[in-house]
């Protein structure tokens, strides 16, 4: 048996290629939308991909299972048949060579056996797969592909359906399902290798580790959420797992829909051509994403209407996915062709297909086109006593951060949740926007300014927030 783990740092996502070296067959688990890396890896190891499987209907990226299915009608597609009628992969129904699995059912790829385990909680249909190398003489599973069920250092969050997709009254029920799934799964052998679908940086959990794999025995000892499920009571687990989860970007709801119902369009990102600076002058037909990491430089000068979306980094996809709609045409302002190509590929992975081109930051600067700026104040220099009735503080940190300690009279809307909560933002006031370090505030300020709001970017560490949080913790 050959097993390879592929990692995408922008999505903090793991996919897996597992192949039988005797027969040359291979399966890909939880692939990204652009599938060439999996085909190339398989070919480099003398394998051909004959099957693709999903652990669940994903919320944070477009699954490549659909791409595989469109490329090769003979390829076997394996999806969950659990969770009820609302949680089936509709796009795969009626397709030849689709296998819809129930709990406990098995399938093989060459001499490798996969056993489906229904592990609901993160989502109702969620499957984990036990992997047994029968061809190698094994009579017990070596590994479990756990998807978003068990991570390294954490477990899957059960609140995404309610918080991201807006499906009311599902998060507590999901938490109780997750508790039961963990107690059932957690009695397996200590040596079982756990292969999750995400690592540190994913919004699918609150404390995921940066280690790519672990064993069940190790996680039983040191994974706080798993240990609480196995050793504690149900309500204590529910309260713990639902508290402090990061606020999900609104594009998660769109990903849920396309991964359930299907997505058309290209199977590879389009080529991104360079636009001369003169062609950018009057372009108002979509969104401009400025990919500079330098937020101070962006504040100082940028193209009118540009949104700050630093690439690469942890904020690129959450900001782009939160501030750009699926049908928006996108122009990238960046440093090079290679950076534009890489960014376009990442956008393609979350269903933002309409990148019309890129333009050079250097060229538009030399042409004098960076005519916009964002007022900026260092937090240390900010006189909060001078706030006028014409101004409003907007805190764009996560809800849990805000609840731990915040500035008086501030409005809290996490930076990824601005679009769906736009009605709460006063149009007649200047917005003083801050977060914990200045990074998220820079993104939020640029987005709101592109929509016509008056904003001031409060940059740097929110020391008063830290002080208030510390005082509140002491008071308890």
Q: How far apart are CA 201 and CA 136, in angstroms?
A: 35
pTM for the full model?
A: 0.94
- Buried b / exposed e over 42-75, threshold 16 CB at 10 Å, is beeeebebbbbbbbbbbbbbbbbbbbbbeeeeeb
DSSP run (H or E) holding 457: strand 455-459
CATH topology match: 2-261 vs 277-366: no
- Supply φ then ψ for residue 113, to 5 degrees: -105, 135
pLDDT for res 280: 87
Is 27 strand, coil or helix?
Answer: strand
CATH of domain 2-261: 3.60.15.10
Q: How far apart are CA 70 and CA 31, in angstroms?
A: 14
- 3, β-bridge pairs: 18
Provide the phi-psi class of 378: left if phi over 0, else alpha when psi is between -120 and 50, else beta: beta
Is 468 strand, coil or helix?
Answer: helix
pLDDT for res 473: 66
On whether the CB atoms of residues 394 and 431 are closer than 8 A, the answer is yes
pLDDT for res 476: 36
Query: Tokens 């969104």 sit at which residue?
Result: 287
Interhelix angle 171-185/224-231, rounded to 10 degrees, is: 80
pLDDT for res 474: 59
The CATH class given to the 376-475 domain equals alpha beta
pLDDT for res 475: 46
Q: How far apart are CA 269 and CA 36, in angstroms?
A: 11
Q: How far apart are CA 146 and CA 156, in angstroms?
A: 10
On whether the CB atoms of residues 146 and 181 are closer than 8 A, the answer is no
Residue 206: CB atoms within 10 A of its CB come to 17
Residue 300: CB atoms within 10 A of its CB come to 12
CA 310 centroid distance within chain: 16
Q: How far apart are CA 63 and CA 411, in angstroms?
A: 36
Catalytic residue among 20, 435, 462, 465: 435
pLDDT tens-digit profile, the chain (476 residues): 999 999 999 999 999 999 999 999 999 999 999 999 999 999 999 999 999 999 999 999 999 999 999 999 999 999 999 999 999 999 999 899 999 999 999 999 999 999 999 999 999 999 999 999 999 999 999 999 999 999 999 999 999 888 877 787 899 999 999 999 999 999 999 999 999 999 988 888 888 888 999 999 999 999 999 999 999 999 999 999 999 888 888 899 999 999 999 998 888 888 899 999 888 877 778 899 999 999 999 999 999 999 999 999 999 999 999 999 999 999 999 999 999 999 999 999 999 999 999 999 999 999 999 999 999 999 999 999 999 999 999 999 999 999 999 999 999 999 999 999 999 999 999 999 999 999 999 999 999 999 999 999 999 999 889 888 888 765 43
On whether the CB atoms of residues 69 and 264 are closer than 8 A, the answer is no
Q: Does residue 8 have a cis bond before it (omega within 30 degrees)?
A: no
Domain spans in the chain, listed from the N-terminal domain onward: 2-261, 277-366, 376-475
Q: How far apart are CA 92 and CA 78, in angstroms?
A: 9
- 10 Å CB burial of residue 3 (0-12, 13-18, 19+) is middle
Q: Which CATH architecture has domain 277-366?
A: 3-Layer(aba) Sandwich (3.40)
Is 20 annotated as catalytic? no
pLDDT for res 427: 96
Long-range (24+ apart) CB contacts under 8 A made by 117-120 are: 117/144, 117/185, 118/80, 118/82, 118/83, 118/181, 119/146, 119/147, 119/149, 119/181, 119/185, 120/82, 120/83, 120/174, 120/177, 120/178, 120/181
User: 172 CB contacts (<8 Å, ≥6 apart)?
Assistant: 238, 242
């Amino acid at each position: 048996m050959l097993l390879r783990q592929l990692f995408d740092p922008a999505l903090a996502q793991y996919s897996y290629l597992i192949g039988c070296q005797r027969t040359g067959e291979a399966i890909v688990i939880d692939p990204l939308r652009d599938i060439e890396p999996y085909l190339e890896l398989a070919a480099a190891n003398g394998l051909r991909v004959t099957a693709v499987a999903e652990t669940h209907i994903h919320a944070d990226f477009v699954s490549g299972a659909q791409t595989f299915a469109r490329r090769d009608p003979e390829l076997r597609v394996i999806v969950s048949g659990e969770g009820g009628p609302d949680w089936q992969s509709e796009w795969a129904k009626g397709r030849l060579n689709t296998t819809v699995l129930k709990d406990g059912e098995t399938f093989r790829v060459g001499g490798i056996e996969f056993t489906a385990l229904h592990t609901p909680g993160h989502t109702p249909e969620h499957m984990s797969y036990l992997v047994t190398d029968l061809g190698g003489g094994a009579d017990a599973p070596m590994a479990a592909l756990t998807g978003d069920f068990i991570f390294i250092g954490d477990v899957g969050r059960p609140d995404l359906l309610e918080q991201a997709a807006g499906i009311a009254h599902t998060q507590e029920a999901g938490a109780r399902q997750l508790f039961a799934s963990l107690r059932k799964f957690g009695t397996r052998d200590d040596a079982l290798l756990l292969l999750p679908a995400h690592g540190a940086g994913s919004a699918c959990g609150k404390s995921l580790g940066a280690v790519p794999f672990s064993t069940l025995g190790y996680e039983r000892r040191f994974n706080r959420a798993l240990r609480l499920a196995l050793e504690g009571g149900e309500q204590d687990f529910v309260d713990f797992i639902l508290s402090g989860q990061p606020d999900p970007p609104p594009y998660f709801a769109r990903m849920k829909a396309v991964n359930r119902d299907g997505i058309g369009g290209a199977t590879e990102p389009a080529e991104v051509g360079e636009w001369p600076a003169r062609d950018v002058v009057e372009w108002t037909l979509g969104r401009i994403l400025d990919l500079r990491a330098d937020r101070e430089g962006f504040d100082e000068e940028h193209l009118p209407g540009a949104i700050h979306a630093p690439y690469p980094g942890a904020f690129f996809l959450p900001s782009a996915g939160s501030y750009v709609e699926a049908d928006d045409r996108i122009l990238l302002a960046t440093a090079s062709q290679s950076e534009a190509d890489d960014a376009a590929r990442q956008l393609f992975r979350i269903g933002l297909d309409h990148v019309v081109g890129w333009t050079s930051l250097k060229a538009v600067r030399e042409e004098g086109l960076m005519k916009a700026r964002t007022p900026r104040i260092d937090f240390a220099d900010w006189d909060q006593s001078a706030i006028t009735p014409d101004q409003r503080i907007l805190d764009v940190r996560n809800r849990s951060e805000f609840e731990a300690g915040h500035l008086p009279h501030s409005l809290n809307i996490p930076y990824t949740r601005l679009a769906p909560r736009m009605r709460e933002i006063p149009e007649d006031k200047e917005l003083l926007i801050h977060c914990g370090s200045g990074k998220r505030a820079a993104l939020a300020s640029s987005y709101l300014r592109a929509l016509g709001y008056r904003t001031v970017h409060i940059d740097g560490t929110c020391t008063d927030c830290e002080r208030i949080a510390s005082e509140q913790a002491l008071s308890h």
